[in-house]
């Protein structure tokens, strides 16, 4: 009876006004704790009366749908999504829900009346919603109007700030990765750094959104960060200058006969930029024999862009599947015919800063045997967040599914394990290398009959690639670079090994290809 009465009260009241008017009328309803509790009971009663009908109309099914990627589905920095066992079972009874909502009403009313300072109802409700979402996992959260607009700007590839992708860990802000050519990158901020203070104020107690907001500000303004870094004996203080962050998500370069493409994040235009760079690199007179796809320190981004980038290198087959709470929510994304590189050898480089969408791409190419994955184990974020707009009140970012590579493996909290493990190291010439006695140095040696017309020259062989060469010990002013700053430079050991691997594959193909036997007569 109470449920039916509540249902009638709620539906008759809400149907008489628009949604926005109803939201603005809530403070009037909340003028007393009794009216608030009655309103909450009415809401629950209406749900209890409607849900059984919906359950009968939409039975669970094992059918696996295939659909295009949703641009609102994003994959960002993170840890393990822990869905409690109670989420897999039936929901609480209506009576229990009444009691819990009544508890919320009591707390809400007590805060409004007795808190030491007046507090806006909107702030209380938003904080309650955000607390509910953030308690689920590190990636679910509530985005108010400003946060939602900021997120939309970021996915377009341009925003203001320091240029770091961050997440929350043990109450501190953890750097997932600095973005190339940004204030954070130039200041030497590293993946794994923990930000403990912003402008001398403790980060502990702030939400992720609040901390990010403090790091944003007017272009040209300074900000001081206190950083805790593993291996450092004491906190590190760095002063950065805020700048407009324009992300060039795709960059390319040629190392003689090896093409190099770096993707720093997956924004709306990433796939188109990648295809443009590949068309230039593999043009009519191209000498490129192999390709390196660098996904190191790539924090992820849009799911549809990860699918499209993977599709660029594949002729067919599954790229990724996402599986939600219900079997009917399973989605499978497959490649279409047309490998833009035409089967060219590919090496993908990853590290601990490669997360989410970057792991989808590397996992797909690895499982499909399309590329060799090199580097170190990736971050291990295997969950999908769906951004659900809430009208003029922002949006909620909710973890709705886990994703799986083509072979069916989940990388949640495990990461992508490279086929060839290569730690970042320093390239340095060993003392005495190239100075040993050779045949040409021996007195009375036989001459090479094919070299009669040329003077013999004995010299140390130079590296094939002038851009990747050993460091010189004579450089006294050489600055120690962070891992992120080393990427793509002449000190990038992982890149040098990837180039060696591709050249080795090229030589192997040439030596095993059918050819005329040496010395054979026509």
Among the residues of 194-260, which ranges form H helices?
208-215
Fold of 248-380+402-434+462-514: 2-enoyl-CoA Hydratase; Chain A, domain 1 (3.90.226)
The residue written with tokens 């939409």 in the block is 58
Strand partners, 324: 401
Cα dihedral sign, 385-390-395-396: negative
By CB atoms closer than 10 A (0-12, 13-18, 19+), residue 29 is: middle
Successive 10-residue mean pLDDT values, the chain, 522 residues: 43 43 44 54 50 38 40 42 43 86 94 95 95 94 89 72 87 87 91 93 89 86 94 93 84 95 94 96 92 96 96 98 95 97 97 96 98 97 95 94 97 96 82 71 83 50 46 45 77 95 90 64 52
Copy the structure tokens of residue 60. 């669970």
Q: Cite the residue boundaries of each domain of the chain with CATH code 2.30.42.10.
A: 158-246
Strand partners, 226: 197, 237
**Strand, coil or helix: what is 320?**
strand
pLDDT tens figures, 335-388 = 999 999 999 999 999 999 999 999 999 999 999 999 999 999 999 999 999 999
User: Using CA atoms, how far apart are residues 330 and 402, in angstroms rounded to an integer?
Assistant: 10
How much is the pLDDT for 463? 45
User: Using CA atoms, how far apart are residues 209 and 129, in angstroms rounded to an integer?
Assistant: 14
Burial 148-173 (b: 16+ CB within 10 A, else e): bebbeebbebebbbbbbbbbbeeebb
H or E element in which residue 387 lies: strand 383-389
Phi, psi of 104 (to 5 degrees): -60, -45
User: Using CA atoms, how far apart are residues 297 and 352, in angstroms rounded to an integer?
Assistant: 7
Q: Cite the residue boundaries of each domain of the chain with CATH code 3.90.226.10.
A: 248-380+402-434+462-514
How much is the pLDDT for 172? 92
How much is the pLDDT for 68? 42
**Residues 307 and 333 sit within 8 Å (Cβ to Cβ):** yes
- What angle, rounded to 10 degrees, do the helices at 270-281 and 303-312 form? 20
**Residues labelled catalytic:** 356, 367, 381
pLDDT tens figures, 132-178 = 999 999 999 999 998 898 788 777 766 678 988 888 888 899 998 88
H or E element in which residue 433 lies: none
User: Using CA atoms, how far apart are residues 116 and 124, in angstroms rounded to an integer?
Assistant: 14
H or E element in which residue 43 lies: helix 33-57
The alpha-carbon radius of gyration of the chain (Å, integer) is 29
pTM score, whole prediction: 0.68
How much is the pLDDT for 432? 60
Per CATH, the number for 158-246 is: 2.30.42.10
Q: What is the dihedral of CA 283, 285, 290, 295, to 10 degrees?
A: -40
Q: How far is CA 197 from the centre of its chain?
A: 24
Strand partners, 402: 323, 383
How much is the pLDDT for 67? 43
How much is the pLDDT for 488? 87
User: Using CA atoms, how far apart are residues 404 and 411, in angstroms rounded to an integer?
Assistant: 7
């Amino acid at each position: 009876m109470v449920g039916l009465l509540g249902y009638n009260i709620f539906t008759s009241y809400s149907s008489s006004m628009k949604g926005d008017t109803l939201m603005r009328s809530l403070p009037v309803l909340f003028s007393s704790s009794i009216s608030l509790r009655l309103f909450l009971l009415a809401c629950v009663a209406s749900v209890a009366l409607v849900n059984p009908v919906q359950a009968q109309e939409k039975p669970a099914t094992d059918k696996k749908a295939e659909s295009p990627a949703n641009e609102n589905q994003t994959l960002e920095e993170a840890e393990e999504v822990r869905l409690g066992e109670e989420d897999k079972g039936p929901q609480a009874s209506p009576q229990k829900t009444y009691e819990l909502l009544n508890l919320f009403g009591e707390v809400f009313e007590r805060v409004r009346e007795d808190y030491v300072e007046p507090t806006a109802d909107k702030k209380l409700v938003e904080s309650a919603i955000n607390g509910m979402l953030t308690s689920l996992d590190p990636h679910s959260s509530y985005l108010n109007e400003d946060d939602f607009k900021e997120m939309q700007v970021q996915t377009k590839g341009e925003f203001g700030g320091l240029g770091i992708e961050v997440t929350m860990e043990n109450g501190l802000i953890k750097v997932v990765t600095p973005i190339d050519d940004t204030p954070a990158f130039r200041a030497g901020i590293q993946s794994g750094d923990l930000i403990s203070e912003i402008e001398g104020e403790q980060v502990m107690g702030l939400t992720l959104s609040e901390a990010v907001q403090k790091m944003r500000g007017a272009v040209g303004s300074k900000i001081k960060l206190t950083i805790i870094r593993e291996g450092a004996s004491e906190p590190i203080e760095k002063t950065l200058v805020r700048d407009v962050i324009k992300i060039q998500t795709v960059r390319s370069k040629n190392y003689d006969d090896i093409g190099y493409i770096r993707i720093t994040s997956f924004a709306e235009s990433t796939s188109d930029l990648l295809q443009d760079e590949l068309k230039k690199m593999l043009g009519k007179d191209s000498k490129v024999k192999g390709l390196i796809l660098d996904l190191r320190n790539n924090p992820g981004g849009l799911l549809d862009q990860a699918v499209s980038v993977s599709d660029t290198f594949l002729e067919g087959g599954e790229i990724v599947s996402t599986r939600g709470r219900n079997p009917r929510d399973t989605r499978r994304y497959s490649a279409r015919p047309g490998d833009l590189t035409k089967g060219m050898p590919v090496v993908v480089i990853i590290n601990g800063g490669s997360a989410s969408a970057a792991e989808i791409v590397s996992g797909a190419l690895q499982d499909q045997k399309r590329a060799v994955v090199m580097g170190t184990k990736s971050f291990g974020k295997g969950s999908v967040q769906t951004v659900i707009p809430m009208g003029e009140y922002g949006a909620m970012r909710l973890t709705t599914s886990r994703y799986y590579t083509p072979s069916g493996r989940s990388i949640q909290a495990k990461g992508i394990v490279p086929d060839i493990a290569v730690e970042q190291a320093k390239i340095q010439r060993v003392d005495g290398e190239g100075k040993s006695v050779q045949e040409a140095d021996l007195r009375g040696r036989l001459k090479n009959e094919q070299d009669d017309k040329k003077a013999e020259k004995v010299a140390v062989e130079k590296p094939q690639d002038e851009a990747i060469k050993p460091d010189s010990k004579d450089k006294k002013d050489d600055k120690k670079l962070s891992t992120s700053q080393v990427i793509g430079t002449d000190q990038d050991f992982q890149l040098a090994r990837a180039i060696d691997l591709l050249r080795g594959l090229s030589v192997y193909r040439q030596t095993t290809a059918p050819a005329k036997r040496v010395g054979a007569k026509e």
